[in-house]
Amino acid sequence: MPEGDTIYRAAVNLGAAMAGRELVRSDFRVPSLATADLAGERIDEVRAVGKHLLMRGERFTIHSHAGMDGLWHVLAPGSRAPVPGHTIRVVLATDEHEIVGSSLPVLELLPRDRDLETLDYLGPDLLDPDWDDAKAAEAARRLRATGAPVGVALLDQHAVAGLGNVYRGELCFLRGVHPATPIEDVEVEPLIALARRLMVANRDRTERTFTGDARRGRRTWVYGRGGQPCLRCGTRIRDAQLGLEDGMLRQVQWCPRCQPEPSALSR
């Protein structure tokens, strides 16, 4: 699933093509919006909020969430989108570009004057341009309030917005914390500060890196490296599933030497 830095880059790219321009055509291919026509609507800005994307117009905001496979494509007029036609959910045209959204599980129109209220349930956004100590403290408070293992809490968008599977694995490694460690046993404030620094550092990179090495196969410490040697100590990386509150199990990786299990921490 695209994480906050990926959605941020999408917002920047889409904003360059759309902001300040008027839509000359819209074609929504979801039943709830089948009759919607935004021709004549000027898009003021494209904004990322956590994993959500807001195309904010004069009257309406197009809100989308990419889910696991969603993508936005900026094309020249008449160009063919590089995805199967049946996955296309919307086509938005300006006088210079066609913007195509594919495989979007969430696509809706919101009143512009109340669009941000729809996302009030989200925790502080790590890429909020107005991030400050108060928002960092609120994120820490919300993480603690989950009462979940740290590897589950970091994925809770109600606590902090923008993190996904890659970031939670890398953050746990860099802080030397096993993903199953109870959140109450974790130093939350440094974890949030590191998450913010990493997200800011990666938001303008085409290929994110957590190690400082941009070479393929060397960009992450543990994510996607199950069974491979730890880049720090050489111990074989473990790979298992960790449950979430929604009942889903997601893969998580860790180094058993660099990130001792919670029981080992308590001895």
| Catalytic residue list | 2-3, 51, 250
**Cα angle for residues 172, 69, 220 (degrees, 5° grid):** 30
Q: Between the CA atoms of 155, 157, 161 and 162, what dihedral angle is there, to the nearest 10 degrees?
A: 50
Q: Which amino acid is at 225?
A: R
Residues forming beta bridges with residue 254, ordered by sequence position: 238
Among 178, 23, 188, CA closest to 109: 23
How remote is the C-alpha of 162 from its chain's centroid? 4
**Cα angle for residues 156, 1, 113 (degrees, 5° grid):** 70
Which two tokens mark 17? 């093509």
* DSSP H or E stretch at residue 11: helix 4-18
Residue 64: phi, psi to the nearest 5? Answer: -140, 155
Give 48's contacts (C-beta < 8 A, 6+ positions apart): 4, 7, 8, 10, 11, 54, 125, 127
